Chain A
Amino acid sequence: MSVKYIPVQWNRNKWIYDAVMLIGVILFLYLFLFVSPEILSHENPINPQIHNARAFGACAFIMLTVILCIGPLARIDRRFLPLLYNRRHFGVMTLFVAITHASYILNWYFAFSSSNKFEALLFANTSYGQLAGFPFEVFGVFALFCLALLAVTSHDFWMKFLTPPVWKRLHSLVYFAYVSVVAHVSFGILLDQQNHVFTVIFVGGALSVAGLHAYAAWLEYKAGDDIGSNQGGWVDICDASEFRDGFAKIKILPSGERVAVFNQGGNLSAISNACAHQNGPLGEGRVIDCLVTCPWHGFQYDVTNGRSPAPFTEKIPTYNLRLDGTRVLVDPVANSPGTYVEPVPLPDVVTKEVLV
């Protein structure tokens, strides 16, 4: 959270995250290049360019696999949320590793032609009509383009400028990039792999990503947020006795937006469930001293007015609430971001049980 943009918003946690990531990359490359070449089909002599290209290519695949696992893992178990915190740096570093892989390939396999090496890459193999011998390079080029697009639009400015939903849609390209990388490896090195240690790592990694995403989607389908029922133009959230102090109930409104109704010391306040930063699920956060913290990246908002504490300037919409007996109802028409709404006290009959 910053008032003015700066190139990179470093903090202690990000330094630690990036340091662990960098050490992991160096360790992987060291193992691949120097410690165990024989288990990775390098018993046949290959030159350093090819060896390096394979090392960086394998590293980029592993990194992208880990990145794609973080999202569903955080959905399945909240203890993985810290991994989500700095995932954009992970993505940018993956791009650098992938570019290094591509550079070794270009400067070896395509560098000794009389043609421009980039042109040579595009026309060296054009057997698009056959599966065996398919020009797998094109999958790599596409994946690299996607990773580059994601990395160059990863600054917070882009999220605010494009709006979080559009930014998220653009960054959904990571799924296409991953499938493309799987195709790049499958129709490339896998067709010639003689020692199957890497084959097992590759297939295991790809199926882990596939399985985790499918499982997370199934969980969301089974235990996802409910659609609030309409009660004369207001949306029924739940009975007042169902609230826990400091936590929220989330409902989907007729417009498709999610509202998060918080109980803060016996007073109810309703805000948008979507964080202004990346549309993270605010309703899964906890209110402490009137502020709810987004579980994704730690942005904070006052639940009574939807504003981040000064000097920060983020704002989210708020909603009007009313009680009908012990039922809590919300007006589905959102107030403009940052609008103060007087909290609604819980009915006396339920206050005692909720605050116990």
Chain B
Amino acid sequence: MNEAELILFAAKIWCGIGALVAVVFLTFGIDRIDEDADGAYVFRPLLVPGVLLIWPMVLWRWYILADGKDEWSHRYRPKRHNHVWFALLMPVAIVIIIGAAFSVRQTWPGDIAPEPLSAPAEVSE
């Protein structure tokens, strides 16, 4: 099994477990931890893709809410200062990336003869 097959296999396993969690959570669990979901069924299929992707987080929050361990004050503490980090780092990253890309462009600023980047690829089986 090559790396690409391994990655896809791992993704299938991950989503497979997620599907099991989705069935149990959306059938039995959700009504017990959110009163707004009690008796509301039409919206539940919309949640399936989310559960497939973040099922460990779903299990964790399910446990916290079902066990009454949810700390209400945490809901009202937005991390507004996080934006400063994104606002500083994102422009730096964007400028570096675009600058790096222009620096390796083979026909910029003037036309030059293109050079092969690497040897021809092997023929895939």
Given contact pairs A130-B118, A190-B105, A213-B86, A279 touches B42 in the complex (Cβ within 8 A): no
A21: min CB distance to chain B, Å: 19
B77 surroundings in chain A (CB, below 8 A) = 165, 255-257, 274
Per-position binary interface string of chain A over residues 178-212, scored 1 when its CB falls under 8 Å from any chain B CB and 0 otherwise: 11001100110011001000000001001101110
Say yes or no: B101 contacts A6, CB within 8 Å: no
Assess the B42–A213 pair: CB atoms within 8 A.
no
B112, CB-defined interface residue at 8 Å? no
Report the tally of A-B residue pairs with Cβ distances under 8 A.
Answer: 187
A178 to B40 alpha-carbon distance, docked (Å): 35
B36 within 8 Å of A by Cβ? yes
Residues B36 and A179 in contact, CB atoms below 8 Å apart? no
**Considering the chains assembled together, what is the distance between the CA atoms of A72 and B8 in angstroms?**
37
Nearest-CB residue, chain A, relative to B105: A191
Measured CA separation A206–B96 after assembly (Å): 12
Residues 94-125 of chain B, each 1 if its beta carbon lies under 8 Å from chain A, else 0: 11011011111111000000000110010011
**How many residues on the A side are at the interface (Cβ–Cβ under 8 A)?**
76
- Central interface residue in B2, B65, B105, by most chain A CB within 10 Å: B105
List the A side residues contacting B57 at CB < 8 Å: 162
Is B47 among interface residues, defined by CB-CB distance under 8 A? yes
Picked from B37, B47, B104, the residue with its CB within 8 Å of the CB of A131 is B104
* A248 interface residue per 8 A CB criterion: no
Residues of the A chain whose Cβ atoms lie less than 8 Å from the Cβ of B33:
161
A274 and B76 within 8 A (CB):
yes
* Contact among A157, A163, A183, A274 for B43, CB-based, below 8 A: A157
- State whether the Cβ of B75 lies closer than 8 Å to any Cβ in chain A: yes
Complex: A336 Cα to B73 Cα, angstroms: 8
Bound CA–CA A118/B11 (angstroms)? 12
Q: Are A182 and B98 in contact (CB under 8 A)?
A: yes
Q: State whether the Cβ of B68 lies closer than 8 Å to any Cβ in chain A.
A: no
6 contacts between A and B (CB under 8 A): A5-B40, A133-B118, A163-B74, A210-B90, A274-B76, A274-B77
Instruction: List 4 additional A-B contacts (Cβ < 8 Å) besides A153-B53, A161-B61, A179-B90.
Output: A4-B37, A6-B42, A127-B118, A213-B90
